[in-house]
Structure 1
């Protein structure tokens, strides 16, 4: 997962305002007591951060994988 895919997944799942607030305000114990934004700044892979955020917020597993990827063009 690229950073742009993480950002797209965050907006798709939570909306731009709430997603942004979650990324900067929600402390994730699984990521060493960092927020998602802090974890990414510290160099953790966006996929790892996304999955931790999903687990913490109860996102259905069906939304975890492939999140943030654009639909194929026909």
Structure 2
């Protein structure tokens, strides 16, 4: 998944402002306790990051975005 597609999905699921907050502030256990921004900077594949988001927020991410 391209980074632009990842960011678009995050914005659609959470809204642009809250998506930025999640990316900067929420640490995901599946990503080694990294935030989304840290995981991207560390070169973790965006599809892997997206799966961690879906797992952490199953009720927030619509099925069409999974």
Q: Give the TM-score taking structure 1 as reference length.
A: 0.80
- Alignment of structure 1 residues 2-13 onto 2, 5 Å: 2-13=2-13
SS at match of 1:20: helix
Find the counterpart in structure 1 of residue 34 from structure 2. 34
Q: Give how far 1:57 is off.
A: 1.4
Structure with more contact order per residue of length (Cα contacts < 8 Å, sep ≥ 6): 1
Runs of 4+ more than 3 Å apart: none
Count of aligned residue pairs for this structure pair: 64
RMSD: 1.3
Q: Give the TM-score taking structure 2 as reference length.
A: 0.89
Q: Give how far 1:5 is off.
A: 0.3
- Name the structure where helix makes up a greater proportion of residues: 2
- Alignment of structure 1 residues 1-74 onto 2, 5 Å: 1-58=1-58, 59-60=60-61, 62=63, 63-64=65-66
SS at match of 1:27: coil
Q: Give how far 1:54 is off.
A: 1.1
- Name the structure where strand makes up a greater proportion of residues: 1
